[in-house]
Amino acid sequence: MTDSETAPSFRLGYVPGVTPGKWVRIWQERLPDVPLDLVAVTSVEAPDAVRRAEVDAALLRVPSDRAGLSVIPLYTETTVVVIPKDHLVAAADEVTAEDLADEVVFHPLDETLEWDRRPGRPAVERPATTADAVELVAAGVGVLVAPQSLARLHHRRDLTYRTVTDAPQSRVGLSWPEGETTDMVDDFIGIVRGRTANSTRGRRAAAQPETKRTGTATGATKKSGSEKAGAAKKSGDARRGRASGTSGGSHGKAVRNRTGGTKGGAQSGRRGKPRRRS
C-alpha cells in the first residue's frame, strides 16, 4: 500500500491525568478500519496543539481562553492538596485554602488552576512541572495543590492527599478546532457522549435512512405476501365449499332414486301382480 492509499487516522491528544482508554476501546470496536493515534500533550500546550490542528481533537483541561476552540465539557475534577503522610493536615478529611496559609505551596509552571489569590507562601522558585513539585513535596519542602487526577497519577507510598473545599476546580473537556466538524471528530463526540452505534452521527448517519427505507420495503413485501396468502386461502375455501355442495346434492339425489320414486313403485307392482291359471 502506497502512502497515498494509507487509511486516514484519528489523532487524539490527551493531557496528564486524563485517561481516554474507555473511549479508545469503543472507537476500536466501532471503527476498526480507522486507526486512532494517542498523542500526549502537556496541559499548557494542549489548547495550541488543537488550534494548530496538530491533533484532530484533544481531551484537555478547559482553558479560560477558548478562542479558536470548540469545547464540550465532560466532567469537573476535585482539587486536593498533596502532602506527606505524617503531615499535620493529613489528620483532617478535608481542608480550606486558609488552612494552608502557613505552608509553602508550590505552583508549577504547568498549573492550570485559575486562582484569584493563591494560598500559602510562595516557593523561592516555581517548579517546571507538577511531577517536579511532587518530588519536592516528598522531600518535605512544601505542599502542592492540584487536580485529584494528577495526585493519583504521581502517587507515592509516602504521600497522601486531602480535598481542598474552596479551591478552584479543573474542568476536563473534549476540544477540536473551531469551525466545521469532521466526520471522525463527530464520531468521537458521539462516543464520549454515550451515543449508541446506531445513533452515532457522521458517516453512518447517511446510511440510516436507506436502512429504514429498506426495512419499510421489506415490511411491505411481507404484508403483500401475507395478503396474497390470505386471498389464496379464501379462494381455496370457496372452491372446496362449492365442491362439497355439489357432491352432497348428487349424493342425495342418488339416494332418493334408490330408495323411492317411480322406479321403485314399478318394480313393486310387478312383483304383486297375480298369475292366471291355465
The pLDDT tens digits for 39-55 are 999 999 999 999 999 99
The count of other CB atoms within 10 Å of the CB of residue 99 is 19
CATH number at residue 122: 3.40.190.10
Question: Which band of pLDDT confidence, cut at 50, 70 and 90, is reported for residue 201?
Answer: low
When pLDDT is averaged across residues 56-70 and rounded to a whole number, the result is 96
pTM more than 0.85: no
37 and 153 inside one domain: no
Statement to judge: residues 131 and 89 lie in one domain:
yes
| pLDDT value, residue 8 | 86
Q: What is the pLDDT of residues 134-187, one digit of tens each?
A: 999 999 999 999 999 999 999 999 999 999 999 999 999 999 999 889 999 999
- H or E element that contains 215: helix 207-259
- Is 119 a member of any domain? yes
The residue that leads in pLDDT, 176 or 224, is 176
Give residue 180's pLDDT: 85
Q: Please list, in sequence order, all residues whose beta carbon lies within 8 angstroms of the beta carbon of residue 162, skipping any fewer than 6 positions away.
A: 80, 81, 83, 89, 90, 92, 93, 94, 95
Whether residues 72 and 175 fall in one domain:
yes
Give the CB-side neighbour count of residue 184, counting CA atoms within 13 A. Answer: 21
Predicted local confidence at residue 238, as pLDDT? 53
Contact 57, 174 (CB under 8 A): yes
Assign 230 a pLDDT band (cuts: 50, 70, 90). low
Per the domain annotation, does 268 fall within a domain? Answer: no
Same domain as 181, residue 48? yes
| 269 falls within a domain | no
Question: How does the average pLDDT of the chain come out, rounded?
Answer: 80
Tell me: do 59 and 184 sit in the same domain.
yes
Mean pLDDT of 63-67: 93
What pLDDT, on the 0 to 100 scale, is given for residue 231? 55
d(CA 114, CA 132): 20
94 is in which domain, residue-wise?
79-168
Q: 99 or 5, which is more confident?
A: 99
Report if residue 270 sits inside a domain: no
Residue 275 in any domain: the answer is no
Does 255 have pLDDT greater than 80? no
Mean pLDDT of 192-208: 65
Q: 184 and 237 share a domain? A: no
175 and 191 assigned to the same domain: yes
| pLDDT for 103 beyond 70 | yes
- Percent of the residues in the chain that have a pLDDT greater than 90, as a whole number: 65
Q: Is a pLDDT exceeding 80 seen at residue 1? A: no
Whether 18 maps to a domain, the answer reads yes
Cell of 252: 342425495
Same domain for 64 and 195, yes or no, is: yes
| Beta-bridge partners for 69 | 177
Q: Does residue 62 sit in the same domain as residue 178?
A: yes
When pLDDT is cut at 50, 70 and 90, the band that residue 7 belongs to is low
Q: For the chain, what is the domain count?
A: 3
The reply to whether 139 and 183 lie within a common domain is: no
Q: Could you tell me if residue 267 is inside a domain?
A: no
266 occurs within a structural domain: no
In this prediction, residue 236 has a pLDDT band, given cuts at 50, 70 and 90, of: low
* Nine cell digits for residue 172: 476536563
**Same-domain pairing of 36 and 61:** yes
* Distance (Å, whole) CA 60 – CA 170: 10
- Residue that terminates a domain, selected from 141, 168, 195: 168
**Do residue 198 and residue 215 come from a single domain?**
no
